Amino acid sequence: AQSVSQHNHHVILSEAASLELGCNYSYGGTVNLFWYVQYPGQHLQLLLKYFSGDPLVKGIKGFEAEFIKSKFSFNLRKPSVQWSDTAEYFCAVTPPGNQFYFGTGTSLTVIP
Amino acid sequence: KAGVTQTPRYLIKTRGQQVTLSCSPISGHRSVSWYQQTPGQGLQFLFEYFSETQRNKGNFPGRFSGRQFSNSRSEMNVSTLELGDSALYLCASSPANGVNTEAFFGQGTRLTVV
């Protein structure tokens, strides 16, 4: 069965620090890759997505992610976090067929 | 365009009861998926409906069932509720046939089983 691993369960950073959240998946075929964010009390929102093409994708709010096919990874990065980035972040993978496989999430707390 | 709407937002039920949750997808979206979100488990896939047919199913017991109507609205039913069913249930809709599409999520229904 397909799985998605997020290595960091809880991350605490100070404002202006750089962020990298790891995501690895197990599926040998073509996949679509996503990062979703859930701000406190809000619904899941799409941060960025990768379908094909340039493996470095840019999303909203200064986030970016790099798809490394050989490592089955899709890590999320942001050069300088803000207090408003405090949220839960989920990596998701969809093999063809529209079923999303989500990681267990990473809770990010940014200290002002 | 209105987003994905889930009703009710909050529910408290007693063990052994059954519950029905509703999801109205974004207009024009034909695929609706359901997820169970619990702390530490992330989002667990329940099932996905497309054009009134269940297309994918996760590893949940038969107490969890769903259906989709001709207008793409979907309902999820949980029978014989257990304490462990307490969770946030999320509905997501996507446009078409699952190729290169993203999922749009509702705010969820918070179910508490006591």
For B5, name the nearest residue in chain A, comparing CA atoms only: A43
Question: What pLDDT, on the 0 to 100 scale, is given for residue A24?
Answer: 96
- What is the rounded average pLDDT of the residues A8-29? 94
| B-chain residues near A102 (CB < 8 A) | 35, 42-45
By CB atoms closer than 10 A (0-12, 13-18, 19+), residue A64 is middle
Q: What is the pLDDT of residue B66?
A: 97
Shortest Cα distance, chain B CAs vs residue A13, angstroms: 20
- Return the residue in B10, B43, B104 with the most chain A beta carbons within 10 A, the one to mutate for interface testing: B43
Percent of chain A with pLDDT over 90: 79
pLDDT band at B1 (very low <50, low <70, confident <90, very high): low
Give the integer Cα–Cα distance in Å for B109 and B87. 8
Mean local confidence (pLDDT), B22-29:
95
- B10 contacts A41 by C-beta, under 8 angstroms: no
Beta-carbon separation of B43 and A102 below 8 A: yes
Instruction: For residues A14-21, give the mean pLDDT.
Output: 97
Residue A81 CB-density burial (10 A; 0-12 exposed, 13-18 middle, 19+ buried): buried
B72 SS3 class: coil
Distance CA A2, CA A25 (A): 7
Range B64-70 average pLDDT:
97
Tell me, what's the pLDDT at B99?
64
The answer on pLDDT for B98 being more than 60 is no
Per-residue confidence at B26, pLDDT binned at 50, 70, 90? very high
Q: Span A37-66, mean pLDDT?
A: 94
Q: Tell me the average pLDDT across B22-41.
A: 92
- Asked whether residue A101 carries a pLDDT value surpassing 70, the answer given is yes
The pLDDT value given to residue B102? 86
Contact with chain B for residue A77, Cβ under 8 A = no
Percent of chain B with pLDDT over 90: 80
Asked if residue B63 has pLDDT above 80, the reply is yes
Which of A50-64, A86-100, B31-45: highest mean pLDDT?
A50-64
With CB atoms and an 8 Å threshold, state whether B50 touches A94.
Answer: no
